[in-house]
Amino acid sequence: MQLLTWNTQWCCGMDGVVSVERIVGHALQMGGQEGLDVLCLQEIAVNYGALQGQPGDQVAQLQALLPGWQLFFGASVDEFTPQGRQRFGNLIATRLPVLQVQHYPLPYPADAHMRCMPRMCSVVTVHEPGLGPVRIMTTHLEYFSRLQRQAQAAALRELHMQACAMANLPPQPAADGSPYQTKPHTEHALLCGDFNFEPHESEYAQLSAPWAANALQGLRSGRWHNSWHVLHSDLPQPLTFRLIDRQWGAEPGACDFIWVSDSLRDQVREWRVDQSTQASDHQPVLLKLAGKT
């Protein structure tokens, strides 16, 4: 299975041109002959004419460019203004069979006079032939407010713990065709996106902190693993942000991650980043797992 994650900056490149086609074309090219199975994009815009390049309905444009794929848009911002309905958030596109879709608003604690916006995590559970059900999670954490970012990192850890506990202590099964019918609970999970923190920061430690086993709660001991370090434990992750555009800081950094669950750690086979493309202010990251048939 191949997954690519990319903060697209509403598909606005370093040349100031907004091009959904360029983003999709480059992402598919990175997938090579084997092809991508999952594409996770952050900063997708609908009807924000005031943004550079005046993006239109990028969800509709993406759907037109990905025939045969299923697309799921999680709008962390969904508001009605004098410009009409405006939405901004994350999108998961996949060629794999989809079993379930969930959208989780992330914590948004008050931080007086701080520039910020709501954030969320979208989760699409797919069926990968060699792995079974896998939860694909994508997110984009707050940039300006560290208070909010810390709360969001902790919440993502809790979401995974909750899902693992549910997989180990599943609810009563049901085949009655009602909303209570049995769900595809699984410990297999990938969490990707732009986290707006770097490996040396406390939020990274919060998200990756291990948890202890708790039999009463259905938890085995576990943690999130940065997939880069699964393959390269002693090397710093390659840079993914501020390589070209330095308006957000003087030095390049790594803040775009793909985390894997304990259950998928042994399936990690390849991790790649394209550090040369200027189609966005972030760089796309690709992860390959064993299991694709």
List, for residues 21-45, the tens digit of each pLDDT value: 999 999 999 999 999 999 999 999 9
The b/e string for 56-86 (b: 16+ C-beta within 10 A; e otherwise) is eebbebbbeebeebbbbbbbbeeeeeeeeeb
CA distance 280 to 43: 10
- Is the separation of the CB atoms in 81 and 49 below 8 Å? no
pLDDT at 246: 67
Q: CA angle, 40 as apex, 131 and 190 as ends, to 5°?
A: 35
pLDDT at 193: 98
CA distance 112 to 109: 10
**Length in residues, the chain:** 293
Rounded to 10 degrees, the C-alpha dihedral 210/214/215/217 comes to -100
Strand ranges, E, within 82-226: 84-94, 98-105, 120-128, 132-140, 189-194, 225-226
pLDDT tens track for 94-140: 999 999 999 999 999 999 999 999 999 999 999 999 999 999 999 99
CA distance 137 to 191: 5
Rounded to the nearest 5 percent, the helix, strand and coil shares of the chain are: 20, 35, 45
Q: What is the pTM of this model?
A: 0.96
CA distance 253 to 240: 6
- CATH number of residue 153's parent domain: 3.60.10.10
Q: Average of pLDDT values for 78-84? A: 96
How many C-beta atoms surround the C-beta of residue 121 within 10 A? 23
pLDDT tens track for 43-70: 999 999 999 999 999 999 999 999 999 9
- Provide the domain limits for residue 203: 2-289
- Please, what is the average pLDDT of the chain? 96
Q: Is the pLDDT of residue 293 over 50?
A: no
Number of domains comprising the chain: 1
CA distances 31 to 127, 266, 269, 286, Å, are: 19, 21, 14, 8
Nearest Cα to 66, choosing from 93, 36, 90?
Answer: 93
Q: Average of pLDDT values for 275-286? A: 96
The b/e string for 10-25 (b: 16+ C-beta within 10 A; e otherwise) is bbbbeeeebbbebbbe
> What's the pLDDT band for 218 if we cut at 50, 70, 90?
confident
Exposed / middle / buried, residue 258 (Cβ in 10 Å: 0-12, 13-18, 19+): buried
> What's the pLDDT band for 248 if we cut at 50, 70, 90?
low
SS3 assignment, position 85: strand
Number of H helices, E strands in the chain: 5, 12
> How much of the chain exceeds pLDDT 90, in percent?
94
Q: CA angle, 153 as apex, 30 and 37 as ends, to 5°?
A: 25
Q: Is the pLDDT of residue 231 over 90?
A: yes
Q: Is the pLDDT of residue 245 over 80?
A: no
CA distance 289 to 90: 22
